[in-house]
Structure 1
């Protein structure tokens, strides 16, 4: 089975490739250092499985999976992240991931995760807490009465603006990068804040960090 690794740390990618080489059933055909490159490679090579980090420059792993899951429906996605909090993991599975493991477990669990996902089953790292399992069951078994995840109600452009604002970009900087007017950025900001029920930039940053969109350690709040 062909794999693509998407992680912004070259040494960690090398470590994953070393583990994969132990099993002749799998081979790494490409690697990327950010979500944008991962999307391009995924669409071009259409691998069997992609190993994806969450926190990366530009598009993060969750955004990448959302964009790829319809374009390459046959591809499976395993998140390998330092984040073990329930909110990150639930959001990853909602986005379309089929497996999740923490980086500390990769050496011992990677092949098992690949085998599980290759069989069409979901893989959840055994090192993760029971809270994660409970939240996953809630999100999958709540039926039509379950409240919709606020983040999923945002348009793709609103999600993009949200991430950039949470990373500390000004309205003018966001406008320049997206080739839209500052007024349009402000409109998107107003709409997304209303949908998410947020009142301030600090709340926006914390919300984005909880989803794994940014690293909260970079902010002194």
Structure 2
């Protein structure tokens, strides 16, 4: 008989043996009760409507594809239950997608002992992110930031010529336009034209600002 105060859980997992083990493990907890289980996303939707669980333990990989992610995106419109994603692999892209889709937490299956507390945390709506998930998310955001920075750097490099980069470097080093003209064997007018072209292309307000931007991009 289900304790009225127990946290109601539905397990959606396509590994039948692992699902049975998890169900038995959770049911040994006094404050947690597995109300239903299934290996099919379509059946999960019907069970969630019927049972109205507090927490859904949802495997990311269902039938050898990330069907759990698709199901996660559908659940907010159907239930207020918190979703804890389960997976056998630490894939940072799946982590990010899981949280974007609305998951409250993400647990690697090998960390079996952490699942009951993840259920309690999700049910209490404290939404603490599992340490490994937080680490993977941070790594993914750093990777995306690095990709974005590399893109911006390549874009910047395409906008300025090597000679303009050299000019920006000299500006960054504190040389005046007349000094740059003298050192580069150019007329002052030519240097001024170069600076004007750079500012037009980069949309900068000053040559020093453009030089700092080039420095920040790692061009010199």
Gaps of 5+ in 2: 1-6, 145-220
Find the structure with the greater CA-based Rg.
2
CA shift, 1:64, in A, is 0.8
Q: For 2:70, what is the secondary structure of its paired residue?
A: helix
Matched, 1:70 2:73: no
Instruction: Give distance in 1, aligned partners of 2:16 and 2:36.
Output: 13
Q: For 1:104, what is the secondary structure of its paired residue?
A: coil
Structure-2 change in CA distance of 1:103 and 1:21 (3 Å): same
Deviation string, structure 1 residues 187-220 (Cα, Å, up to 9, x no partner): xxxxxxxxxxxxxxxxxxxxxxxxxxxxxxxxxx
CA shift, 1:59, in A, is 7.5
Gaps of 5+ in 1: 140-221
Are the equivalent residues in 1 in contact too, given 2:58–2:68 (CA < 8 A)?
yes
Which residue does 2:129 correspond to in 1?
124
Which residue does 1:54 correspond to in 2?
60
Which residue does 2:25 correspond to in 1?
19
The CA RMSD over aligned residues, in Å, is 2.3
CA shift, 1:42, in A, is 1.1
Which residue does 2:12 correspond to in 1?
6
Are the equivalent residues in 2 in contact too, given 1:6–1:31 (CA < 8 A)?
yes
Q: For 2:111, what is the secondary structure of its paired residue?
A: helix
Structure-2 change in CA distance of 1:20 and 1:130 (3 Å): same
Q: How many residues align?
A: 137
Which residue does 1:213 correspond to in 2?
none
Deviation string, structure 1 residues 153-204 (Cα, Å, up to 9, x no partner): xxxxxxxxxxxxxxxxxxxxxxxxxxxxxxxxxxxxxxxxxxxxxxxxxxxx
Which residue does 1:196 correspond to in 2?
none
Which residue does 2:94 correspond to in 1?
88
Deviation string, structure 1 residues 83-139 (Cα, Å, up to 9, x no partner): 212110110011111010001002x10111112112212243334473423546999
Which residue does 1:31 correspond to in 2?
37
Q: 1:110 aligns with which of 85, 104, 115?
A: 115
- Calculate the TM-score normalised by the size of structure 2: 0.57
Q: For 1:122, what is the secondary structure of its paired residue?
A: coil
Instruction: Give distance in 1, aligned partners of 2:94 and 2:110.
Output: 16
Which residue does 1:163 correspond to in 2?
none
Question: Higher relative CO (CA 8 A, sep ≥ 6), structure 1 or 2?
Answer: 1
Q: For 2:25, what is the secondary structure of its paired residue?
A: helix
- Calculate the TM-score normalised by the size of structure 1: 0.56
Are the equivalent residues in 1 in contact too, given 2:61–2:67 (CA < 8 A)?
yes
Instruction: Give distance in 2, aligned partners of 1:120 and 1:45.
Output: 19
